[in-house]
A and B are shown apart, each in its own frame.
Chain A
Amino acid sequence: MFLKKLLFKNKTQDIAPESGEGSVLIKGDELKLLVDKVFGRSLFVRLVDSGSCNACETELAALSNPYYDLERFGIKFVASPKHADILMVTGCLTRNMLNPLLKTYENIPSPKFVITVGDCAETGGPFKDSYSVCGPVSKYLNAAVHVKGCPPEPKAVISAFLKLMDILKSGKQEKLPD
């Protein structure tokens, strides 16, 4: 009964009735067009948390809720780096996470791109002076796009994907990382 009620009551459009400039749907449709074009209809992302406070992860997980539903635009978070096109990194990069991060990066087949998410990934945030932090991520990996915010809101992450597509489409990405 409950399932039936849910099935017929709440449609995504009802829960997320957003429209207008910058709304998830408009951004998403644009994104889908680009993902179709640049990545042949599927863009796979592998996330590594290198030492965040878990707010960034909560927001990235929120991208799958009915308000954003990122997968409808062709973007999917995958389990294995071997499947991924993009390495997404959150957190200040702790010493203990350096090796797992680099190993994950190595295991992503080329061409591959890095997106850093959140202020900690950019500067180390409030943790940058700690003895056990060896970041920021940029010391070791070149990020194609960075998403600002502490944590960035889900919409900002969608915009970052758009930005990456734009860079790739226009061929502005000067040197592809090996």
Chain B
Amino acid sequence: MNKIMFNKHYTEIESDYFANSAEILKASGKYLLGIVAADERSINSKFSIRYFFGGTDGGGIEEYCVKTDESFRSISKICPSAKMYEREIYDLFGLLPEGHPDLRPLMLYPENWDSSVHPLRKDYNGVIHEMKKYGGYKFKEVLGEGIFNVLVGPVHAGIIEPGHFRFSLAGEPVLQLEIRHFWKHRGIEKLCEGKDFNEALGIISKISGDNSVNISISYLEAAESILNIEITERAKYIRVILAELERIWNYVRDVAWIFMDIGFALPAQNLFALQEELMRLNKNLSGHRFLFNSLTLGGVNFDMDSRKLKEIEDMVNKVENIIKDSEEFILSSSSVLDRLEFTGKINKKTAEELSLCGISARASELKRDTRAEFPYLIYGRLNLKPVILDGGDVFARTALRIKEIYLSKKIISDLSSNMPEGNIAVSCESKPEAFGYAVGNSETSRGNAFFYIMADDKGKIFRLKYIDPSFRIWPSIQYGVLGNIIADFPLINKSLNLSYAGNDM
């Protein structure tokens, strides 16, 4: 059993003191996993703000809880990664982070929303204000002779999700990039409140479609530990195989886009064709090209017989061969290396300060892989060694993806040759403890997906918070592009390949 015991590390603390603790935590090598606010006025007449810290020593997750009425001390100056969470809390709960350097609205655009609306407060009456301009949004400005701005989005060229990018340039190099996101804010957290755990899974699987399985696994880790459900060994194996399959098709597509963006259409299309084959395999296995509805509370929705396992085995072998060719090509072509190396460099220090996760962290020398840090399902038994590279540039991220395809292939091959017997799902009639809560973790193809779920006294969801890896990583791109030419931005963006849907929620 690899469920992490959370209450073990639970500390309740005054907001004013927590700033000091955060400094100590950071000095001891811990990093901020996320901040979760909740309106618990119906339970203890306070709002709670929970800070989750992780460390690389395998010590699990530490939770610090601050109770407040209307404001709390900002820790953004100590942990820069807290900045976005605190802005989010200010927006959705109306709780003021004292001393925060930047309190511009994040998801509720002043162009559309009255600033008195805080939808995640339990007493929010659902009134939707008329659609009109209530205020403006002030972008950061770079002033000086010869400085000009390039504005891109929200509707981009090509088949991409919406986001607004503002480059300030002097000549070719980028002096500043400011990103404005949350165009696709769908209000998923509020939507899940009051739903039962099964209903919510349907919404959760559509947070970010290309990472549906891995995000659902994270949700199920939390939900099943609240409901005290222990799934069968066989279900765990199937979940891991599906998770790794999803990772492989994501990585294949990511590498293909890198080729596309440096003008190598042929190797790119080769990999796009491979992606299509992987998605057709998904369809053969589950009936859905994105493996939607494959997982269920208490197990999985379909079994894997030897024929299906053989199909998967053959496919991952094929992937390995094709990717090997691509790897060789990257390493042997100076025109590819010229575009990839030293482009979009994110320093280790920046990665640390922004609490990055996933590929972006591992390409910048940080040992962060949820599968090894906070093992779930059967990952703890696999003794995974996270692949770490030190370049921090587009090349490192591409090379890392390739290496991880081999790793995922190995995991799938190992598991499919010794699948345990048993049922694929257990019944789940148990009721959750009133106001019990749990967190769940998983490693998606982008990084750590984090869930916090609290049940109410009727067995429904009281508060659900999801932190997407993209939410953590997006700010880092603003540092990655500095000094690069604007023409390299699409490449840098693709090398991180973040989700807008997961970020905006």
Q: Does A138 contact B (CB under 8 A)?
A: no
Residues of chain A at the chain B interface (Cβ within 8 Å): 2-3, 5-7, 10, 15, 47-62, 64-67, 77, 79-81, 91-92, 94-100, 104, 125-127, 129-134, 150-151, 153
Contact between A100 and B273 (Cβ–Cβ < 8 Å)?
no
Q: How far is the CA of A91 from the CA of B290 in the complex (A)?
A: 16
B208 touches A54 (CB 8 A): yes
In the complex the two chains form, is A127's CB within 8 Å of B266's CB?
no
CA A100 to CA B190, docked complex, whole Å: 24
A15 to B124 CA separation, bound complex (whole angstroms): 55
Report which residue of A52, A64, A65, A94 has the largest number of chain B beta carbons within 10 angstroms of its beta carbon. A65
Q: Which residue of A lies closest to B133 (CB)?
A: A99
B270 near A10: Cβ-Cβ < 8 Å? yes
Question: What residues of B have a CB within 8 angstroms of the CB of A47 in the complex?
Answer: 158-159
B159:A130 contact, CB within 8 angstroms: no
Bound-state CA distance A79–B162 (Å) is 13
B residues neighboring A (CB under 8 Å): 107-109, 111-113, 119, 124, 126, 128, 131, 154-155, 157-162, 182-188, 190-191, 202-203, 206-210, 212, 253, 266-267, 269-270, 272-273, 275-276, 279, 289-290, 292, 325-326, 328-329, 332, 499-501
* Complex contacts, B185 vs chain A, CB 8 Å: 94-96, 132
**A62 nearest CB neighbor, chain B only:** B276
A52 CB to nearest B CB, Å = 7
Q: Could you tell me if B328 and A2 are in contact, using CB atoms closer than 8 angstroms?
A: yes
A52-B501, A62-B279 known; A94-B184 Cβ under 8 A: yes
Q: Which residues of B are found within 8 Å of A126, using beta-carbon distances?
A: 191, 202-203, 206
Question: In the complex, A84→B184 CA distance in Å?
Answer: 23
Q: Taking A62-B276, A62-B279, A66-B272 as contacts, is the C-beta distance between A3 and B155 under 8 angstroms? A: no
Say which residue of A54, A80, A81, A150 sits within 8 Å of B161 (CB atoms). Answer: A54
Q: How far is the CB of B381 from chain A (nearest CB, A)?
A: 32
Extra contacts, 20 of them, besides A54-B209, A94-B183, A153-B289 (Cβ < 8 A), are: A47-B158, A49-B184, A52-B209, A53-B501, A56-B209, A66-B273, A66-B276, A91-B184, A95-B113, A95-B185, A96-B107, A100-B155, A100-B183, A127-B206, A130-B187, A131-B124, A131-B128, A132-B185, A150-B292, A151-B290
* Residues of chain A with a CB closer than 8 A to B206's CB: 53, 55, 125-127, 150
